[in-house]
Structure 1
Amino acid sequence: MNMAVRVPDFISVSQTNGIATITLNRPDVRNAINDQMRAELVAAFEQAGADKDVRGVILTGAGKGFCSGGDVGGMRARLDAPAGEVAFNGWKRQQSTHRGVAAIHGLTKPVIAAVNGAAFGLGLDMALACDFIVAAEGAKMSMSFIKRGLVSDGGGMYFLPRRVGLSRAKELILTGRVVETEEALRIGMVDRVVPGEALAETAQSWAEELCAGAPAAVALTKSILDKTFESTDDQIFALGREAQAICYTTAEHRRSVEDFLNKTSK
C-alpha cells in the first residue's frame, strides 16, 4: 500500500511497506541543495527515525538528477556578504550541512541511496553517507568540489576512502573527474547498477530485504559496524557484548526462540 506522508516544499516523503522514500524535490535545478532543503532533509530523516512504522529509508532525487550539489546561487549570495562575515556565515552553513549528513549516516535504520542521475559534489557526499548505493545505468558521479575551489565538505573525505581505498579517493577528489556507473561499480563506489526503469523497484525490494530483521538487532548492528574502522577489536567486542545483552531482552528474540523450539518439538 502506498501512502503519502508529507509533502513540504523541497523534500517529499512517501511510505510503502515500512520503507520511507525521501525525495530531493527541486528538479528544475537538478535538486541542488539550499538552506531550506537542508532543514527539510534533517526533519524528514528525524521523522523517519522516530516513526516505528518506518523500518528503512530510500533517498533519491526527483526528475533527471539525484543531486547536483550545493546551490551555486547560494554560493554567490554567500560571497556577496561583507568580507568580515563570509567566514562566520560559512561556518554556520557548514554546521547545517553536517547536520544533514549526520542525519543520513546516523539513522539507526538501513538507508539506500537510489541514484537516478547525476550526483555531484554534496549530492555525491550525501549518497556516500547512506549505507548502500544503487545507481541507474548512465548516472554520473563526481567529487566536483575542487572545480569550485572547495574541499569536500559533506563527509566525502570520510566516506569515499572507506569505499574505494585512500589512494583512489585522493585521485577522485583531487581531479573531480566524472565517474560513470560501470567504473563506479567496479571500484566499489556503488553497490549495484540497474536500468533506470528498475531503480525504484530494486531499491524498494532491497530495502525490504535489509529491514526484515528485528529492529533492535538491525539498529545495534549498524551502529557498531559504523565504528569498525575507528575502533580496536576489543572496543568492537565490548560494543557487541553490550548490544547482545540488549537483544536478549527484546520481544523479537524471545519470540524467535519460542517459535524455533515449538517447531523442533513437533
Structure 2
Amino acid sequence: MSGGNERIRVSIEGDIACVTLNRPDKHNGMDFAMLRAMVRVQKQLKRRRDIRAVILDGAGPSFCAGLDFKSALARPLETLLMGLQLWWPWRNRFQRWSMGWRDLGVPVIALVHGNCFGAGMQLALGADFRISAPDARYSLMEAKWGLIPDMGGTPLLRDLVPLDVAKELVMTGRVIAAAEAHALGLVTHVSNDPLAHARQLVAEIAMRSPDAVAAGKFLLQRAYAVADGDALRAERRWQRRIIGRANQRAAVARNSGPGALDGKPVRPWEKRRIG
C-alpha cells in the first residue's frame, strides 16, 4: 500500500493494518511531512473493505512526543501557510491527524509507550482504544508553549473525561503516568505487552459482523454528545444500514440456538460495506 513516506510505515498483516510513526531519533515528533503522510494513510485505509482493524504505534523510545517545534521554526513560510488553516471553516489537516481515525469503519487501537505529549496525545485520543505500556507518560503539553490543543483534542477529551478533568489537563499541561491516565479514563488498558493485548482484542471483535462493528462505532460517536432524540434517530439510521444484509444474516446463522456452530462450517463474513 502506498501513501506513507519515510515518516509513516504501513504494513498489512492479514486483515490488520499496522501504522507506525517512524522518526525514532526524534521520539516521533510530528513535522509537516508526517502530518501530510498520516492524512494520506487515513484516506487510503478508509477505502479498503478488507481491513478489520488498525494498530497504530510509534517506532523507537516514544509513541509521539508532540509537534517538532524546531522543524516548524526552521520552515517559517511553510509554518505560516499551514497556520492559515486555522481560518478554514471546516476540519483542517491538523484536526484530521486525530479525527481522521474516527472516519474508518474499523477499530483503531493505539499502542502507547514512552512519551505521548501534545499532538501525540491527541493522536492517541483519536483511536477507539488506547493500550498503554506501564512506562508511558501523557500530557496535553500545549500550555507549555502558550497554546491550546487544536488537533481534535477538544471533542476527543469530551468523550472520555469530565469537564473539570479536561480543564485541569489543558490548563496545567502536566505530565501523568499511565496508571493515572487509566484511572482518569484516558487509557483503555495498561498492559505489559500492548501488542499482544491489542491482537487479542482484535480477534474478539473480528468474531462479529464487520458491518455491525462499523455501524456501532459510528453510532456511538454520533450519539454520545447529543440530545436523546438525536441519539435515537442515529440508532434508527445505523440499524437500517445493516439489518437484513449479508453480514447480519451471517451473524444470525452463527448464533442460532445452543451449539449452533458445533460440527457446522462457519459462514464467512463478507467484506465490510459500512464506512
TM-score over 0.5 for the pair: yes
Q: Partner of 1:220: helix, strand, or coil?
A: helix
**Structure 2: tracts of 5 or more residues without a match:** 263-275
1:219 Cα offset (Å):
1.1
The DSSP-based 3-state class of the residue aligned with 1:231 is coil
What are the residue-to-residue correspondences of 1:249-260 with 2, within 5 Å?
249-260=244-255
Q: Are the structure 2 counterparts of residues 126 and 73 from structure 1 closer, same or farther at C-alpha, using a change threshold of 3 Å?
A: same
Distance in structure 1 (CA, Å) of the matches to 2:202 and 2:256 = 29
Q: Does 1:143 align with 2:136?
A: no
Match for residue 117 of structure 1 among 114, 119, 123: 114
Structure 1 residue 260: deviation in Å?
4.7
1:225 counterpart residue number: 220
Alignment length, in residue pairs?
255
CA RMSD of aligned residues (A): 2.4
Q: Percent identity?
A: 33
Alignment of 1:242-253 (within 5 A): 242-253=237-248
Code of the aligned partner of 2:217: K
State the match for 1:154 in structure 2.
151
Which residue of the other structure, out of 84, 88, 96, is the alignment partner of 1:91? 84
Q: Does 1:206 align with 2:201?
A: yes
Distance 1:118 1:216, change over 3 A: same
- Conserved? CA contact 1:56–1:208, under 8 Å: no
Question: Cα distance, 1:210 vs. partner?
Answer: 2.6
Contact 1:31–1:67 (CA under 8 A) maintained in structure 2: yes
1:38 counterpart = 2:31: no
Q: CA deviation at 1:81?
A: 4.5
Show the 5 A alignment for 1:1-266: 5=1, 8-77=5-74, 80-81=76-77, 86=80, 89-92=82-85, 95-195=92-192, 198-261=193-256
How far off its partner does 1:220 sit?
Answer: 1.1
Q: CA deviation at 1:258?
A: 4.1
Query: Structure 1 regions of 5+ residues with no counterpart?
Result: none
> How many Å separate the matches in 2 of 1:221 and 1:182?
28
Give the partner amino acid of 1:233. D
Q: Distance in 2 between matches of 1:199 and 1:261?
A: 34
Q: Which structure has more helix as a fraction of its residues?
A: 1
Q: TM-score, normalised by structure 1?
A: 0.87
Q: Deviations over 1:173-198 (max 9, x none)?
A: 11111000111111111011112xx1
CA contact (8 A) 1:18 1:53 kept: yes
Structure 1 distance, partners of 2:22, 2:51, is 21
User: In structure 2, how many angstroms separate the alpha carbons of the residues matched to 1:214 and 1:121?
Assistant: 35
